[in-house]
Amino acid sequence: TETQSKTAHPKGLWVLFGTEMWERFNFYGMRTLLTLFLVNSLLMKEEDASLIYGGFLGLCYLTPMLGGFIADRFFGNRNCIMLGGLLMAIGQLLLFTSASVFGDNLGLATAIMYSGLGVIIFGNGFFKPNISSMVGSLYPKQEKSKLDTAFTIFYMGINIGAFLGQFICPLVGDVKTEGIRDIHAFKWGFLAAAIAMLIGTLLFYFLKNKYVVTPEGKPLGGLPSKNESSDYEEGEAQSAVFSTIALLISVLVFIGMFLLFHFSVDGDNVVKTIIYPIIFSSGIALAVLILLEKNLTKIEIHRILVIYIISFFIIFFWAAFEQAGSSLTFIADNQTDRNFFGWQMPASMVQIFNGLFVVALAVPFSMLWDKLRANDKEPISPVKLAFGLLIIAISFFMIANQVKDLGTSGLLAVKWLILLYLLNTCAELCLSPIGLSLVGKLSPKRFSSLLYGVFFLSNASGYALAGTLGSILPATGDKFTKAKELGIDLQAVLDKKIIPTAEQLQLLDKHQIMDHNP
Ligand code: GLN
């Protein structure tokens, strides 16, 4: 009926909501375990784990340029979503494999881990831009006013997924008994993530033809060259083709990553000297390329410059925000009393509060802006962004003040981390959605996708910077620091420069530093 079409959202939104929810379950569930897995099972230094984490996240926001481009030119949104989903599931299975074979096969497990992350990076690149743009295409021109609400609903789906993943994956993967971590449990977390991604992909595969359609019932997001109405009867054949492509990409990435990291002297060096510069320079290169376009008017140039200025400041926001999975998780693990109403919360689960607070606060925040707008008091977008930056700065001053006297043995109460995530979430809600819509409003139409690209590359740069900042945290919980306290130079042992005595081996085993397999 008339009133229904005014308020109701197309059913396809709920399919995209569900698909994205399972995908974010997979992504954030894995992200929350990643650094702890690197440090505890793959025997990395915390510093290097932070660098890898930053490089991984950064690349996850670089590949969407590629995924968007390939969708627009060749495969269409739908196919890229399924391809990306399959790739991410394969990547998670590789992490599962890595977490199953480490110990005696540390080198192999490390190479498989890099390959898994590589495959996930490509999967995310195919998936993320295409599912977001499908949300937009669900609404015909006359219903574009519903887009803001649609994206608020979609953002809820993202964070319900993040919440579930950061609950389930730590529950099965970050397991401690009497304070001693089961370093073999991480694999169950990665397996849970893989299953979640498969559920999301299957959900989309089976429901897309029925629901992800125009009001007239024509499928959306099909192949770009053919017209939108081309039917999808030959779906079976297509899914076989795309599974093959997913496997092929996985194998190629696997071989590439294996060669890059297995034969390089030092994995973290590759991240610092190759991956970070690629991330930073692609943002700058794209920004300059757009400005070189000859038929830009003066006003357009000014608007683009505004986007660049905003993108620049947003780098620092994500650099702080993404301490979540590195330095803040290490602090949660090594220096936090995680007693939460009588329950010892796993360290990797503390991140859950971000998703939880977004779900609780996204609607109140958008109501707040509506109310302020109705009274003509709504702050302009740059002011909201500045607020976001200010709030996150305050939250880190607060935590810095709390940890400054902890030394290497003091404990922080978990409530401070929860408060930090509350403030970070308020900051995120002032900044992330507003930034996105500001880019949409300021971009000249013909450069809109590319300017979104610049904006996401600023996210990517922020993540890379987050890795660098995280690596500054003095180590307290990694194996090297623990071994040093026992008087053993673990690096020299690993490099086979010294052969530990039987007594030292026993010590390393007892303190869960190295599996002792005589
Ligand atoms: N948490 C949101 C997501 O995963 C936003 C992340 C971002 O914009 N960098 O989609």
Residue partners of 205: CB distance under 8 A and separation at least 6 = 82, 239
Ligand 1 contacts CB of residue 459 (under 6 A): yes
Write down the H helix ranges in 327-380. 327-334, 352-374
Ligand 1 atom closest to 28 (CA): 4
Ligand 1 pocket test target in 21, 158, 359 with most atoms within 8 Å of CB: 158
Indicate which residue's Cα is closest to atom 8 of ligand 1: 432
Q: How many degrees, rounded to 5, is the angle at CA 237 between CA 231 and CA 241?
A: 115
Q: Which SS3 state, helix, strand or coil, does residue 337 take? A: strand
| Composition of the chain by helix, strand, coil, percent to 5 | 75, 5, 20
Q: Distance of CA 100 to CAs 25, 92, 226, 305, 399, Å?
A: 21, 12, 45, 49, 36
User: CA 418, CA 463: separation in Å to the nearest integer?
Assistant: 21
Q: Report residue 452 CA to chain centroid gap.
A: 17
Identify the H or E element spanning 23.
helix 11-40
CA–centroid distance, residue 439 to ligand 1 (Å): 16
CA–centroid distance, residue 55 to ligand 1 (Å): 16
- Over the range 284-298, which residues count as b (16 or more CB within 10 Å of their CB) and which as e? eebbeebeeeeebee
Ligand 1 atom closest to 24 (CA): 4
CA–centroid distance, residue 159 to ligand 1 (Å): 9
Ligand 1 atom closest to 459 (CA): 9
Indicate which residue's Cα is closest to atom 5 of ligand 1: 432
CA–centroid distance, residue 232 to ligand 1 (Å): 31
Q: Distance of CA 454 to CAs 14, 124, 131, 286, 303, Å?
A: 29, 17, 19, 7, 14
ipTM of the complex: 0.96
Q: Going residue by residue through the chain, which has 518 residues, state the pLDDT in tens, using 9 for 90 and above.
A: 444 555 688 999 999 999 999 999 999 999 999 999 999 999 999 999 999 999 999 999 999 888 888 888 888 889 999 999 999 999 999 999 999 999 888 888 999 999 999 999 999 999 998 998 888 888 887 887 788 888 889 999 999 999 999 999 999 999 998 888 999 999 999 999 999 999 999 999 999 989 998 888 888 888 875 444 444 444 455 667 777 888 888 888 888 887 777 666 566 678 888 889 999 998 898 888 888 888 889 999 999 999 999 999 999 999 999 999 999 999 999 999 999 999 999 999 999 999 999 999 999 998 998 899 999 999 998 999 999 999 999 999 999 999 988 887 789 999 999 999 999 999 999 998 888 888 888 888 778 778 888 888 999 999 999 999 999 988 877 888 888 888 999 888 888 888 889 898 888 888 878 765 54
8 A C-beta contact, residue 101 and residue 109? yes
Ligand 1 pocket test target in 155, 438, 456, 458 with most atoms within 8 Å of CB: 155
CA–centroid distance, residue 306 to ligand 1 (Å): 22
Ligand 1 contacts CB of residue 158 (under 6 A): yes
Ligand 1 contacts CB of residue 166 (under 6 A): no
CA–centroid distance, residue 487 to ligand 1 (Å): 43
Write down the H helix ranges in 411-501. 414-442, 448-470, 479-485, 490-494
List phi, psi (to 5°) of 184. -95, 0
Which value, in Å, is the radius of gyration of the alpha carbons in the chain? 23
User: CA 340, CA 19: separation in Å to the nearest integer?
Assistant: 31
8 A C-beta contact, residue 346 and residue 413? no
Ligand 1 atom closest to 27 (CA): 4
DSSP 146-213: GHHHHHHHHHHHHHHHHHHHHHHHHHHHS-EETTEE-TT-HHHHHHHHHHHHHHHHHHHHHHHHHHSB
Ligand 1 contacts CB of residue 35 (under 6 A): no
User: CA 492, CA 506: separation in Å to the nearest integer?
Assistant: 17
CA–centroid distance, residue 161 to ligand 1 (Å): 12
In this predicted structure, what is the pLDDT of residue 121?
A: 96
User: CA 85, CA 202: separation in Å to the nearest integer?
Assistant: 9
**Amino acid identity of 118?**
G
CA–centroid distance, residue 515 to ligand 1 (Å): 37
Indicate which residue's Cα is closest to atom 9 of ligand 1: 459
Ligand 1 atom closest to 358 (CA): 1
Ligand 1 contacts CB of residue 282 (under 6 A): no
192: tokens are: 């849970």
CA–centroid distance, residue 1 to ligand 1 (Å): 35
Ligand 1 contacts CB of residue 160 (under 6 A): no
In this predicted structure, what is the pLDDT of residue 408?
A: 75
Ligand 1 pocket test target in 127, 361, 432 with most atoms within 8 Å of CB: 432
Ligand 1 contacts CB of residue 432 (under 6 A): yes
CA–centroid distance, residue 166 to ligand 1 (Å): 15
User: CA 458, CA 284: separation in Å to the nearest integer?
Assistant: 9
Ligand 1 contacts CB of residue 458 (under 6 A): no
User: CA 276, CA 204: separation in Å to the nearest integer?
Assistant: 34
Q: Which SS3 state, helix, strand or coil, does residue 412 take? A: strand
Indicate which residue's Cα is closest to atom 4 of ligand 1: 158
In this predicted structure, what is the pLDDT of residue 231?
A: 45
Indicate which residue's Cα is closest to atom 6 of ligand 1: 432
List phi, psi (to 5°) of 14. -75, -30
